[in-house]
Amino acid sequence: MKAVLFDLGDTLVKTADMIECFQRILKAHGIHRTREELTSAHVEAGNLLGFEFMKTMLDDYWVKRNTIFLEHLRIFGREDLAKIIAEQWWDYSDVAVCSDVAETLDQLRQRGLKMGIITNGLQSDFEKIIAKTKLNLNFFDVIVTVTTNGQMKPEQEIFHYALNMLNVAPNEALFVGDTIEYDYEGARKAGLKALLIDREGKIVADVEKIRDLREILALI
């Protein structure tokens, strides 16, 4: 094993629940909606503008999706609010580095392994997350966002792009993420070894799982 690559959200960093974030931002702007109303609007926005559109729309994606979200909530006359939600999202998300990250990265670096991040987030969001969390980017030899090459997990190309930057073959790399479809299966189809991080032990599936990133150290 020559490299370990990580997903970002819910793997290296944790955030507040998405619906809670929406509720906090809207409340700050004098708008109150129930969790049920927000959940319904969120689902509707996702149905009409799925995440796959992010790789072509880039930074326009969240503004457009928030617009659909607000329309479903019947919030009109606030044309600025969709952009405000996108801009202020990370101020209300409680984003923080997970407690098992620092020790894991330090130990992997001491062993001479290359490391990287592959995220289905935009570069602009990634930069805001780093500013909020102070995640030490010196550990990482490559960082790939949706903005980098217009690809998203589970597409094989995004994994291969990162590996090419590291000069590492797929069978020499491990990918760790928190979703089965995008992270675990995406990495395996691209030829990497994969582990699913399931800190709360909620995922019931026939996959190789860990509860703590430090478990990686005994597996490679």
Report mean pLDDT in 10-residue bins for the chain, 220 residues.
97 97 97 97 97 95 96 90 96 97 97 98 96 95 96 97 98 97 98 97 91 95
Of residues 197, 208, 174, 147, the one with CA closest to residue 8: 197
Per-residue confidence (pLDDT) for residue 76, from 0 to 100: 86
Per-residue confidence (pLDDT) for residue 83, from 0 to 100: 96
Dihedral sign of CA atoms 192, 198, 201, 203 in order:
negative
- What string of H, E and C letters represents the secondary structure of the chain? CCEEEECCECCCEECCCHHHHHHHHHHHCCCCCCHHHHHHHHHHHHHHCCHHHHHHHCCHHHHHHHHHHHHHCCCCCCCCHHHHHHHHHHHCCCCEECCCHHHHHHHHHHCCCEEEEECCCCHHHHHHHHHHHCCCHHHCCEEECHHHHCCCCCCHHHHHHHHHHHCCCHHHEEEEECCHHHHHHHHHHCCCEEEEECCCCCCCCCCCEECCHHHHHHCC
d(CA 174, CA 1): 7
d(CA 86, CA 61): 9
d(CA 37, CA 42): 9
pTM of the model: 0.95
- Token readout for 33 is 């909606």
d(CA 106, CA 200): 24
Per-residue confidence (pLDDT) for residue 204, from 0 to 100: 86
CA-based diameter of the chain, in Å? 57
148: left (phi over 0), alpha (psi -120 to 50) or beta: alpha
